A and B are shown apart, each in its own frame.
Chain A
Amino acid sequence: MSDMAWTRFGKKKDMPGGLWIKCESCGAMLFRKDFEQKHRVCSSCGYHFTLAARERIELTADPDSFEELWGDVKAYDVLGFVDKMPYGDKLKATKKKTGESDAVVTGFGTIKGIPCGLGVMNFAFLGGSMGMVVGEKLAMLCEAAVEREVPVVLFACSGGARMHEGAVSLMQMAKTCGALTRLNQAGQVSISVLTHPTTGGVTASFASVCDLTVAEPGALIGFAGPRVIATTIKKELPKGFQRSEFLLEKGQVDRIVARSDMRDELGRLLAYATGRDPVAAFQPDDKPDGDKSEAPDGGSPEPEPADGQPKAKAKAKAKAASRAKTSESGPELVIEAEAGAVDATPKPRARRKKKKE
């Protein structure tokens, strides 16, 4: 963790406004519009670029289901920290630049009709660094999830702890882990999604101790930054070191899930986590032609349509059964961008209430 060098990642800027964008990984020139539609995944090599928190939520949660909480919690310069400028000024400038109040967006929503808490980190805000606000909001999220009796999904994307808050930021590692123990005691499941990049104090706290850990392909995930390790051991690092696939091989993550499959996979895991039917939950979303009548069921045994449009449960189940395959061999899933996330009119979806025993 001696390397919380989020500034390095922060430098990798694409050319804003340009028609083309160069892939950070393979160097291919990508047509920006297509690239954005694929939610920042390289069509040439599959490299997953860092995604903004809002876009991530749009891609993951059911349309209009996300209710943001604690969006007004703001950090302050607890140390009086000055490097090139006072931390207070840096915060102001970053807020203005990103339109976010800090490096995590928290709230509640549904994924495939399953209610859950969502905490999504935003790398654009000071390298997604964890300070008092990230720690506090994630702790409140876990505590509120206990109250609401729902699981939480946390998307990690961070260079580590926020140096500008000194040891206060270090203690957020403890605060977030402590909050997860509350969730554990309440029997609620936590899912950590590790995205590029996740290092330092975030990897060494909540992101590594959730019940389930999935990673996006090719993400840099580690404790120390690769540069620090290379300097320490004075050797070149092996190819693929600290990438998701490396972590999978070393037994440190449960699954690698492509961005295009993430929503379905999370729905599937959440179904198992909350006593629902995973087959129904794993159904891909609406077809690109927007055939609303075939919108999949949330999978709950007792459907409670939110939009007053009861769904043909049997039909959905039959459809789900036909798709009962593992993700690896599963059918090509419709990418959310084409299916409706960019559609201005939200599709009606079946929303579920947790079945109380």
Chain B
Amino acid sequence: MTQSSAKPAAQDGLAFERPLKELQSKIDELRNLSKDSHLDLSDEIATLEDRLQKQTAEVYSGLSPWERVNVARHADRPMTSDYVQLMLDDFVELHGDRVFGDDAAIVTGLASMDGVRFLLVGHRKGKTVKDRLACNFGCAHPEGYRKALQKMQLAVKMKLPIVSFINTPGAYPGIGAEERGQAAAIAKNILEMFEMPVPIICLVIGEGGSGGALGIGVGDRVGMLENSYYSVISPEGCAAILWKSGDKAPEAAEALKLTGSDLLRLGLVDKVLDEPLGGAHRDQKATVHGVKAQILSWLEELGKLSTEELLAQRYEKFRGMGNPHAPKKARK
């Protein structure tokens, strides 16, 4: 709660966490007290824990889209680096786009997990202040997208499937990024990913920020974590343009229909992966475990398809998104 507590109340998307935190600290207090004073407070603790459980369930089942956006941005939420550490048995990071540089905002490497090998591509946000700056807070430059492309092409050669972890507020808007063709780099990835003859799995693990997300987001299975979002524009950006005020971000988040259940209903993702009670940041290990199981099951499923089937289905999948010919009754 370092940044968010400074925000105005209306903007503070994590305000709903405060009563939960208070309850948690009360429980911790009681625990310490019972330890220090050798009093038996187990009944009281159990009651409070039960209440916390219930309240957490209640709060998280009723999150507004804007609150979910803030959970997706939570600093303790498992990031690509956490998945690398907790999920993989082996990881060989591969650096650089072979042309310009090595963008820290996208990590790529050869990965192995339960005997299954694949190429991992993921946005990297960084944990420390220094890391976050180096990663531009997960906003990749063209060289990041070109690095991803170059490594994905390697995966094709090695006949390895590709797993992509999406977690970016958006591609970086800057002078160098434009000079080096940010738009073209993203577009090229989208185009090429349609033709890669290996299974591709994409998972939005936090923020699915627009073209910056889609630049590593064309796959045979696309999933979203329960508290992630996937949007054409950030709620703040949308609010600034359509409402002429960044303060209207909560309204914009609502209007954009950017949550997992929204995208599932719109037919834009295949599945929403449940998170542990109270969000992925409350239990990283359980979150990673769920993600791992999903990846393995999808890879097994996709492994049964011929290359022709795989590519044809991938094309049809995206070809069918946003169908203006849909019968009118299905729209209402």
Evaluate whether A204 and B187 lie within 8 angstroms (CB atoms) in the complex, with A81-B255, A163-B241, A223-B211 already known.
yes
Q: How far is the CA of A206 from the CA of B184 in the complex (A)?
A: 9
Chain A proximity of B319: nearest CB distance (Å):
6
Instruction: Identify which of residues 136-194 in chain B touch chain A, using a CB-to-CB cut-off of 8 Å.
Output: 169-175, 177-184, 186-188, 190-191, 194
A4, A83, A136, A206 — which one has the most chain B CB atoms within 10 A of its CB? Answer: A83
Q: Within 8 Å of chain A (Cβ to Cβ): is B74?
A: no
Chain B proximity of A140: nearest CB distance (Å):
10
Evaluate whether A204 and B186 lie within 8 angstroms (CB atoms) in the complex, with A1-B170, A2-B234, A169-B232 already known.
yes
Q: How far is the CA of A133 from the CA of B172 in the complex (A)?
A: 28
Chain B proximity of A93: nearest CB distance (Å):
15
Binds A, one of B19-27, B45-53, B320-328: B320-328
Structural contact, A237 and B175, CB atoms closer than 8 A = yes
Evaluate whether A167 and B230 lie within 8 angstroms (CB atoms) in the complex, with A83-B255, A177-B190 already known.
yes
Structural contact, B179 and A224, CB atoms closer than 8 A = no
Q: Within 8 Å of chain B (Cβ to Cβ): is A258?
A: no
Structural contact, A181 and B175, CB atoms closer than 8 A = no
Structural contact, A170 and B210, CB atoms closer than 8 A = yes
Per-residue B-contact encoding for A190-221, CB less than 8 Å = 1, 0 else: 00000000001101111111000000000000
Q: Within 8 Å of chain B (Cβ to Cβ): is A5?
A: yes
Q: How far is the CA of A246 from the CA of B242 in the complex (A)?
A: 30
Q: Which residue of B lies closest to A132 (CB)?
A: B322
Structural contact, B318 and A4, CB atoms closer than 8 A = no
Q: Within 8 Å of chain B (Cβ to Cβ): is A168?
A: yes
Task: Tally chain A residues at the interface, Cβ within 8 Å.
Answer: 67
User: Hey, which chain A residues are within 8 Å of B194, CB to CB?
Assistant: 174, 177-178, 181
A80, A163, A200, A222 — which one has the most chain B CB atoms within 10 A of its CB? Answer: A163
Structural contact, B188 and A209, CB atoms closer than 8 A = yes
User: Hey, which chain B residues are within 8 Å of A175, CB to CB?
Assistant: 318-319, 321-322
Q: Within 8 Å of chain B (Cβ to Cβ): is A107?
A: no
Structural contact, B323 and A132, CB atoms closer than 8 A = yes
Binds B, one of A57-65, A228-236, A332-340: A228-236
Q: Within 8 Å of chain B (Cβ to Cβ): is A297?
A: no
Q: Within 8 Å of chain B (Cβ to Cβ): is A76?
A: yes
Q: Within 8 Å of chain A (Cβ to Cβ): is B105?
A: no
Chain B proximity of A196: nearest CB distance (Å):
15
Partner of A4, one of B174, B241, B268: B241
User: Hey, which chain A residues are within 8 Å of B177, CB to CB?
Assistant: 223-224
User: Hey, which chain B residues are within 8 Å of A201, CB to CB?
Assistant: 210-211, 232
User: Hey, which chain A residues are within 8 Å of B212, CB to CB?
Assistant: 1
Evaluate whether A74 and B324 lie within 8 angstroms (CB atoms) in the complex, with A81-B255, A167-B268 already known.
yes
Q: How far is the CA of A238 from the CA of B168 in the complex (A)?
A: 27
Q: How far is the CA of A204 from the CA of B179 in the complex (A)?
A: 14
Task: Tally chain B residues at the interface, Cβ within 8 Å.
Answer: 58
User: Hey, which chain A residues are within 8 Å of B181, CB to CB?
Assistant: 208, 250, 252
Structural contact, B331 and A174, CB atoms closer than 8 A = no
A78, A169, A207 — which one has the most chain B CB atoms within 10 A of its CB? Answer: A78
Q: Within 8 Å of chain B (Cβ to Cβ): is A179?
A: yes
Structural contact, A203 and B183, CB atoms closer than 8 A = yes
Structural contact, B175 and A233, CB atoms closer than 8 A = yes
Q: Within 8 Å of chain A (Cβ to Cβ): is B214?
A: yes
Per-residue A-contact encoding for B185-226, CB less than 8 Å = 1, 0 else: 011101100110000000000000111101101100000000
Structural contact, B178 and A241, CB atoms closer than 8 A = yes
Instruction: Identify which of residues 109-142 in chain A touch chain B, using a CB-to-CB cut-off of 8 Å.
Output: 131-133, 135-136, 139
Q: How far is the CA of A206 from the CA of B211 in the complex (A)?
A: 13
Structural contact, A168 and B255, CB atoms closer than 8 A = no
Structural contact, B322 and A78, CB atoms closer than 8 A = yes
Q: Within 8 Å of chain A (Cβ to Cβ): is B135?
A: no
Evaluate whether A229 and B173 lie within 8 angstroms (CB atoms) in the complex, with A73-B324, A132-B322 already known.
yes
Given contacts A209-B187, A242-B178, 19 further A-B contacts (CB under 8 A): A1-B211, A2-B170, A2-B234, A3-B237, A81-B257, A166-B232, A167-B268, A168-B322, A169-B232, A172-B322, A174-B190, A177-B194, A177-B218, A204-B184, A204-B186, A222-B178, A229-B178, A233-B175, A235-B175
Chain B contact residues, CB within 8 Å of chain A: 169-175, 177-184, 186-188, 190-191, 194-195, 209-212, 214-215, 217-218, 230-234, 237-238, 241-243, 255-258, 262-263, 266, 268, 315, 318-319, 321-325, 328, 331
Can you list 26 A-B pairs with a CB-CB distance of less than 8 A?
Answer: A1-B183, A1-B210, A1-B211, A2-B233, A2-B237, A4-B232, A78-B322, A82-B255, A131-B322, A136-B325, A167-B257, A169-B232, A170-B211, A171-B321, A174-B190, A175-B321, A178-B218, A181-B194, A205-B211, A223-B211, A224-B173, A224-B178, A228-B237, A229-B178, A233-B175, A235-B175
